[in-house]
Chain A
Amino acid sequence: MTKNNLLSRILKTDQLLTFAFGLVVYLFFSLGYAYHLHYQEQFQLFLFTTDYLAQYVGYPGGISDYLGNFITQFYFYSSIGAILLAIMLTLLQRMVWSVAQKLGTATYWIPLSFVPPVLYWSLLCDESYLAGGLVAILSVSAFIRTYLAVKNPRNRIIFTLLSVPALYWLAGGAFLLLPLFVLTREMMSKMMKPLAFSIFSAFLIGLSIVLPYLTKQFLVQFPFTKLLIGATYYRYPVVIPYSVAIVGLLIVFLPFLSKLLSSKLQPQRPAFWLAVQLLFLVSGSYFLLSKTADLNKEEVMEYDFHARTRRWGRILEKADRQAPTSPLSVTCLNLALAKQDLLGERMFHYYQNGIGGLLPDFTRDFTIPTILGEVYYHLGFINTAQRLAFEAMEALPDYQKSARSVMRLAETNLINGNYELAGKYLRLLQKTFYYRKWATNTLQATKKETLIEEHPEWGLLRKMRTQEDFLFSEGEKEMMLGTVFMQNQENKMAFEYLMACCLLKKDLQHFMEYYPVEKALNYRVVPKSYQEALIYVWGLSHNDPTQSIPYPISNSVKMRVKNYANIYTTRQNPEQLLRNDYSDTYWYYLHFRN
């Protein structure tokens, strides 16, 4: 094969490489990181209203944020979200490559053009990096590419001077990359006369500095840093996105660097050279993504997603494959167990991390209250669930609203009979893309109460909710669970949570006090963890707890407690010996879990 033939084949492979890159990005986000997309989608409420649009076009970078939110709404289906992210990142690569080619970069340097999109991909592994930032960076790249397409020097100057304010409004502070690129390019090409270049540079730099200051004079309600940064790259406004700045600088200087390399290095074997670069690119990307992708968070997000969509079976299947250990995942697992009537029976089959994995305390955050709200909602603490939905939405640092929270607010108000208020939230959801149908159907329930009574979830929760008022007290969870249960003794879940609280807190005195209520709930068999606790307590005051115990304990539990007690009392390092066969028992939790 001649060198020319090989090069022409490589020429075709640039598109192939882009396609392969897009495919890998798609597979990553749709198969490996899908729940991060669902997580992001729920914490925004994209409305097809002029008010919503006006809110974003009113500040520099707001249009990028608006477009980013527009894209994020499609994360409702992670596969669509993954396609959109793949398209954006491949577009970024094509843009960088196109600029590099235009500057005269040799084809075998194409792997360098993947560096900025790979870096941005790694940033997107952090759930706080938002799509609006990528839109801003893409916009800048598009302007840079368009600038290169203008051949006439005078037109290029006019284009740049008009583009700078436009780009500032579109992308925010990232607009600076355009003058940076333009000045570098004009300086290197030497197409302008020195005096013209000096005047142009001075004017361009002056314009770039003046723009944010000028904007501050008119947009008084924005802090100056916001007017400097513009688009919301990161959910927390206090975080300055330096990593994005690095990507931005690469977008500007990488094409010049690749051009320089092309002129300085002309390898004899370009295919080999390309292969070496690709090897570095792939291994580097793998290393980077393995460092930035947080699979523990992905696990929590998956559990939460299933809890949100009431896929209790999926939660149990996942936990059976690998028991979760993080408190929020365990919270979802315990909720799923309770919804499947299995909490008392199987909770100690899985890792339990105390009360924090059952009913975590409220924090001024948006993730914990959202998950905690699910538990209180299903327990019948409708007002608490409502409060947590509200608090979660208010805690969003980027001032967005949450579709999930608004849905929950609509539900809690329907259950509480506040139809006007439920209607307000539902009318809002009618202005979204994915929640419109649900909202329109649910609006019927505000006019026809029987639809709520007959609804499998709302009807049940209306019966199970608190019947008399008391003040919520986070420090007295057992008291509240007991009160709710006593108000409606059909609320079996409240009872099971109460018992689980006692067991997890190792408060066996209260467990024994509450246990007699279990009879009223007509359990066919006493749940396994209760049996284990009962026989343990009985054993504290009897030599052989399996004899004469007045509770209905199964033979299997009796047999196991004997073996467990034997190992526990006679062996030197019982934990290790018991872990394999008895970590699914309450006794093991009682003795070895903090």
Chain B
Amino acid sequence: MRIHILIYLFGVLFYACNETGYVTISHAYPPIYPDYIDVTIPANIAPLNFLMRDSVEKLLVTIEGEKESIRVKGKNKVQVPLKKWKALLASRPEQTLTVTVLVKKKGEWIQYKPFNWHVTPDSIDPFLSYRLIEPGYEVWNSIQLVERHLETFDERVLADNNLTGGSCMNCHIYGNQDAALSMFHIRGEHGGTIVNRNGKLEKINTRTKDMISNAVYGNFHPTGRYGVFSTNVVIPELHTYGSKRLEVYDSAADLVVLNFDTREVISQPFLSDSTSYESFPVFSACGKWIYYCSAGYVPLPDSIRSLKYHICRTSFDPKNGTIGASADTLWNAREMNGSVSHLKTSPNGKYLLYTVADYGTFPIWHREADLQLMDLETGEMDKLEAVNDTCSDSYHSWSSNSRWFVFASKRDDGIYGKPYFAYLDSTGKAHKPFALPQLDQEYYDNTLKSFNIPELSKGQVPYDARDIEQIYWKPEALPVRYTESEPKLVE
């Protein structure tokens, strides 16, 4: 059977060379989904399977490397065999793969313009966790935290709200992209912040009476000893016009640091008063700074379009666990005419990656929201034009080598986010991103789930949904104690 197909394929190609009337040569790229035309990929990624968006009767795809090649056939989609794909990528650590797509459409063979996959030896962290949730409004149904092995198509459920009384689950984040250091929040009656330190799970009640809410957006200190969090009183409002959907804003937002060893929560008066809203705090790679977003008070929701967040920075002393008494503004929202959210410092300490929207603090429902990169050494900003699209691009995370970042993009349809991976080369140039490959790319058409908060890690987290079920139903969460930090500026 396979021999017959090869003979047929050769016959088709032979006629393509000799009788152009038999195979039409198209000068357009094939309408494939996802858009994998001329993308840069790591050498350890799973095969980039794709499907044709227009109706075709047959599909023949050749992936040609510098040493080896693969031919795959399908009806309207291709699934590249994993073994052959790995062998092809292993044949040379850095190479350009040329992909030729030949289709039979209404009885006629068409060969589209070939495109390239640039394989870089800079590998990506092999595990990705994300939250699968329907991009709803107020009501949620099934929520899962899932871990995907990027080198294959294996998926594992880390937490499932089916097992935790239907309660909401938030961002699963790592410290130093290390699977032995991670956390996420579970809400609900038995909820708390689940902290994984070397596989030991703790459920912490991050709220004290001095705080406006539980911990919300957070980040680990490089030592793993501290976490920096915003506490937010979140209000959702509904837009009535066009493609606008939800406007989520904070009616109050403060910033705290939690010491996981002593379970002490500290803050500073200027980070916990009602004159400004603080959100999305992160530690610098060296651990001596806290970057965060801050906006001055405006009456909400009436002045929602005036709610614009700056990027600020304050010092942090990891020895004493104290926060500085003042802050610098690195990105002025008024001058830049935008609003920043989701700060992420690169593991090598060189970059700060963030999202810029026209206004507000919830960019996933702002179509104009784009990623931006700041060089922390020079202060230069890159609008990442090769990376961004017309729909919301946000919720990003770095690979441990600082050469890759993943982000949730709604570019396909405006509301269903999918993980996209972008490469940042040694010169700091960002390349066109590609979507998380699936075994069957029709999965993206069939699912009504959105991929939230994709986070890369170097390994598998040491727990699964059963462990989370057990800890969730334990009656008590560990309490924390609130103290205000002594004003102290770190050199």
A contacts, CB < 8 Å to B: 47, 49, 51-52, 220-223, 226, 364, 381, 383-384, 387, 390-391, 393-396, 399, 401, 416-418, 420-421, 423-424, 427-428, 431, 466-472, 480
For the complex, is B162 an interface residue (Cβ under 8 Å from A)? yes
Residues of A within 8 A of B375 (CB): none
Q: Are B241 and A383 in contact (CB under 8 A)?
A: yes
Q: B139 to chain A: which residues have CB within 8 Å? A: 364, 391, 394-395
Q: How many angstroms between the C-alpha atoms of A470 and B443 in the bound complex?
A: 35
Residues from chain A with Cβ under 8 Å of B237 in the complex: 471-472
| Interface of chain A, main secondary structure | loop
Q: How far is the CA of A480 from the CA of B240 in the complex (A)?
A: 10
Segment at the A interface, from B10-18, B243-251, B424-432: B243-251
Contacts of A223 in B (CB 8 A): 162-163, 469
| CB-CB nearest 7 A-B residue pairs | A469-B241, A472-B238, A421-B413, A221-B160, A394-B139, A420-B413, A220-B466
Q: Which residues of B contact A393 (CB under 8 A)?
A: 134, 141
Q: Of A49, A381, A390, which is in contact with the most chain B CB atoms at under 10 Å from its CB?
A: A390
Q: State A68–B448 Cα separation when bound (angstroms).
A: 22
What B residues does A394 contact at CB under 8 A?
A: 134, 136, 139-141
> Which B residues are closer than 8 A to A by beta carbons?
134, 136-142, 144, 157, 160, 162-163, 237-245, 247, 301, 412-416, 440, 442-443, 445-448, 464-466, 469
Chain A residue, CB-CB nearest to B415: A421
Interface centre among A387, A401, A418 (most CB of B within 10 A): A387
What would 18 more interface pairs be, CB under 8 Å, given A220-B469, A428-B445? A51-B442, A51-B446, A220-B160, A221-B163, A381-B240, A383-B240, A383-B245, A391-B138, A391-B139, A394-B136, A416-B242, A417-B242, A418-B413, A424-B416, A424-B445, A466-B240, A471-B238, A472-B240
Expressed in whole angstroms, the Cα–Cα distance for A222 and B163 within the complex equals 6
Question: Are A220 and B244 CB-contacts (below 8 A) given A394-B139, A396-B141, A421-B414?
Answer: no
Q: How far is the CA of A222 from the CA of B412 in the complex (A)?
A: 31
Q: Chain A residues with Cβ under 8 A from B415's Cβ? A: 421
Chain B residues within 8 Å of A387, by CB: 137, 238, 245
A396 to B134, CA, bound (A): 13
* Inter-chain contacts of A416 with B (CB < 8 A): 242-243
Q: Are A470 and B138 in contact, CB atoms less than 8 angstroms apart?
A: no
A417 partner residues in chain B, CB cutoff 8 A:
242-243
Closest to A406 in B: B448
Q: How far is the CB of A467 from the nearest CB of chain B, in Å?
A: 7
In whole angstroms, what is the CA distance A393 to B449 when docked? Answer: 13
Partner of B240, one of A226, A384, A423: A384
Q: Which A residues lie within 8 Å of B301 (CB)? A: 471
22 contacts between A and B (CB under 8 A): A47-B446, A49-B446, A51-B446, A220-B160, A220-B469, A221-B163, A223-B163, A381-B240, A383-B244, A387-B238, A390-B137, A394-B134, A394-B139, A395-B141, A421-B416, A423-B413, A428-B445, A428-B448, A469-B239, A470-B239, A471-B237, A472-B240
Docked Cα-Cα span, A480 to B141, in Å, equals: 29
> Least Cβ distance of B428 to chain A in Å?
32
Query: With A394-B134, A421-B415 known to touch, is A469 a contact of B244 (CB < 8 Å)?
Result: yes
Residues of chain B with a CB closer than 8 A to A480's CB: 240
Q: How far is the CA of A298 from the CA of B301 in the complex (A)?
A: 42
B144, B413, B448: the one contacting A401 at CB < 8 Å is: B448
The docked-state distance in angstroms from the alpha carbon of A19 to that of B134 is 46
Complex-state Cα separation, A154 to B103, whole angstroms: 58
With most chain B CB atoms within 10 A of its CB, the pick from A51, A424, A472 is A424
Q: Are B465 and A220 in contact (CB under 8 A)?
A: yes
With a cutoff of 8 Å between Cβ atoms, the chain B residues found around residue A52 in the complex are 446
Which residues of chain B come closer than 8 Å to A226, judged between CB atoms?
162
Which residues from chain A contact B412 at a C-beta distance below 8 Å? 420, 424
A418 touches B445 (CB 8 A): no
Contact among B160, B239, B242, B448 with A472 in the assembled complex (CB-CB below 8 Å): B239
- A393, B243: Cα distance in complex, Å: 20
Cα distance A391–B301 in the bound complex, in angstroms: 23
Chain B contacts of A399 at CB under 8 A? 141-142
- Residue on B nearest A222 in the bound complex, by CB: B162
Chain B, residue nearest A380 (CB): B240
Q: How long is the Cα–Cα vector from A220 to B412 in the complex, in angstroms?
A: 32
Chain B residue nearest to A223 (CB atoms) is B163
Measured CB to CB, the closest approach of chain A to B170, in angstroms, equals: 17
